[in-house]
């Protein structure tokens, strides 16, 4: 959900030579899309720089931070193709932490326009950025099989918990599931959803 003003601000910053009236919303939307498209210019470079500090999935302490949710399947998808494309890429049967590092590197290269879209990040239910496996329906406990997927992924990476967003928990607020191994922190606090303002504090 992007406001009209945000569209024009991004478009004007990325295409300053284009002088348009405030009524030309179509240009602003398209300009913003071009700016943030992989390899598309300043917006994409900004996202690529951000990806270096906030990758697809970030292990921090004993927690894994990921937008949608991570399964081990996502780590192995595309690993063989990556090995064919890059001689120094980890083998398809490499340890999960190595495969996660490679996936994060692939995502950064794609944003810069230096590589293909990683297979694991295409718009599908198993993608780490699209998955709702651990958070939908909001506030409900996932199936035992899905909790098993979360546990398998965390154990493979040597981590204790996963922190996910992507699916607003408007009526539940921040909550956990799968025996406390997954924390769902998207409260829908944007103006579009009107959810509660909350934060998750993790302590040792």
CB count in 10 Å sphere of residue 158 = 12
Alpha helices in the chain (DSSP H): 4-14, 25-36, 42-53, 72-76, 79-85, 96-111, 144-157
Closest CA to 106 of 132, 81, 131: 81
pTM confidence score: 0.82
In the chain, helix, strand, coil percent, each to 5?
40, 10, 50
Q: How far apart are CA 169 and CA 138, in angstroms?
A: 5
Q: pLDDT truncated to tens, each residue of the chain (204 aa)?
A: 557 777 777 777 777 777 666 667 888 788 777 777 776 666 667 666 666 656 889 999 999 999 999 999 999 988 888 888 888 899 988 999 999 999 998 888 888 788 888 889 888 899 999 999 999 999 999 999 999 999 999 999 999 999 999 999 988 899 999 999 999 999 998 888 888 899 999 887
Region of residue 21 (phi > 0: left; psi between -120 and 50: alpha; otherwise: beta): beta
Q: Are 138 and 170 in contact (CB under 8 A)?
A: yes
């Amino acid at each position: 959900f992007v406001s009209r003003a945000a569209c024009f601000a991004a478009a004007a910053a990325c295409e300053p030579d284009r002088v348009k009236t405030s009524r030309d919303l179509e240009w602003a939307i398209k300009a913003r899309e071009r700016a943030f498209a992989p390899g598309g210019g300043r917006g994409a470079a900004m996202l690529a720089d951000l990806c270096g500090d906030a990758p697809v999935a970030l292990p921090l302490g004993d927690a894994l931070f990921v937008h949608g949710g991570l399964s081990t399947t996502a780590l192995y998808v595309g690993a063989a193709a990556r090995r064919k494309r890059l001689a120094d890429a980890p083998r398809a049967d490499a340890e999960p932490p190595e495969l996660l590092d490679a996936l994060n590197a692939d995502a950064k290269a794609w944003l810069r326009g230096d590589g293909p879209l990683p297979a694991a990040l295409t718009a599908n239910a198993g993608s780490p950025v699209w998955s709702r496996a651990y958070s939908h329906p909001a506030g409900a406990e996932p199936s035992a099989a899905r909790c098993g997927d979360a546990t398998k992924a965390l154990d493979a990476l040597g981590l204790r918990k996963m922190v996910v967003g992507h699916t607003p928990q408007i009526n539940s607020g921040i909550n956990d599931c799968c025996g406390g191994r997954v924390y769902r922190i998207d409260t829908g606090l944007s103006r579009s959803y009107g959810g509660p303002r909350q934060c998750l504090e993790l302590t040792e």
